[in-house]
Amino acid sequence: MTDSVLPPRLPARVRLGQYPTPLQHLARLSKQLQGPQIYVKRDDQTGLASGGNKTRKLEFILAEALAQGCDHLVTLGGPQSNHCRQTAAAAAALGLGCSVVLRGDPPRQRLGNLLLDELLGAHVHWAGSRTRDAVAEEVVELLRASGRRPYFVPLGGSTGLGALGYVVAMREALAQLAEWRLDIDVMVVGSSSAGTQAGLVLGAALTAYPGKILGISIDAPAPELANTVTRIALEAARLLGPEAAAALLRVQVNADYLGGGYAVVGALERDALRTVAQTEGLLLDPVYTGRAFGGLMDLIRQRVIGKGQRVLFWHTGGAAALSAFTEDL
């Protein structure tokens, strides 16, 4: 994808990550699975406080925040939110305050992303029995009352503006694949708040990428996830102008691997984490990439993804949370 393929109306962006992130061929695992050749786009190496996919989204979202004179970020997530960790890191790098609202009550120990949130200077608020949205609204109002200028970053940074990070990421990946002289039949990504998949889907439409973008659902039924991906992709397209709005979106999701629910580690995730770590020295995370890669391995074993195909897995990060899942793993 060349610069000329992107519409000229790309919004402002503040650079937070280190790009391009590497491509990696999982040669030993591909041989072990007796399936397609598997490659990984290492977005766990974006470089912001251990990296991850939220970095790309925040580059566009926080450019808007700075343009509005923001001096404090407020966001929300689960107790081991990768998004909250990267938002806290971005706030520190930009000299902003940060408050994160986490689901439920504080755990006995500060491990994983929760420890990093605090090291990065974030003010951590626990929602308890209340909704995170209600607590976040309260935090925003208290900050305004104290004279601060807060900016609310939605869950996962999954807005049309945030999804533009993965429109740009698709351009980056296709340029790398062209250098490798490599055609990819299927790109696989874990999909939850859906902004990453939405950006990839829009990027694929803008570049006429002929392969599939398959989102493996982490926590939502297939129709719900497909609707969310489509909505966010269309929001992003409108930001780019009429050329993008007319693009044909191909949204494909698989919700066969929801297991016990969000952040509940089961046999699928344990097998994926241990197999990839012990075969390739590559760490996945228990919530997103562990579930998504476990789904990919099952699709390969079932021959849904054929032996002659080439697969690119988007590693969206999250290994920083591993220590909080010791008992589950």
Handedness of CA 45, 48, 50, 52 (dihedral sign): negative
Beta bridge partners of 100: 75, 124
Phi-psi region of 194 (alpha: psi -120 to 50; beta: other; left: phi over 0): left
Element (H, E) at 243: helix 242-245
Cα–Cα distance, 40 to 31 (Å, whole number) = 15
In the block, which residue shows the tokens 């780019």? 240
Q: Does 30 qualify as catalytic in the annotation?
A: no
- For residue 271, which of 300, 309, 307 has the smallest C-alpha distance? 300
Contacts with 310 (C-beta within 8 Å, 6 or more apart), sequence order:
36, 37, 39, 182, 183, 184, 185, 186
Among 81, 99, 158, 217, the one annotated catalytic: 81
The residues facing 123 across adjacent strands are: 99
| Identity of the amino acid at 11 | P
Residues 175, 294: Cα–Cα separation, whole Å:
28
CA distance between the termini of the chain: 40
Please choose, from the candidates 40, 57, 39, the residue with its C-alpha nearest in 3D space to the C-alpha of residue 48.
Answer: 57
Extract the tokens encoding 32: 């072990």
Which H or E run contains 39?
strand 37-42
Closest alpha carbon to 44 in 307, 216, 249, 288: 288
Catalytic residue annotation: 81
